[in-house]
Amino acid sequence: MTGQEVSVRIERPADDVFAYLDDVSREHEWQPTLESAEKEPDGPTTVGTRKRYASRFIGRTIENTYVVTALDPGRRIVYETTDGSAIDARSEIICEPVDGGTRVTMMLEARPKGMLRLVPQSVLEAAYRDQLDQTLKRLKERLESAP
Rounded to whole angstroms, the Cα distance separating 121 from 47 reads 31
Reported as a single tens digit per residue, the pLDDT across 72-89 is 999 999 999 998 887 788
Q: 67 with 58: CB under 8 angstroms? A: no
Write out the residue range of the structural domain in which residue 111 sits.
2-145
What is the reported pLDDT for 24? 92
- Pairing of β 87-98 and β 76-81: antiparallel
Domain count within the chain: 1
CATH code for the domain of 77: 3.30.530.20
Taking residues 123-143, what's their average pLDDT? 82
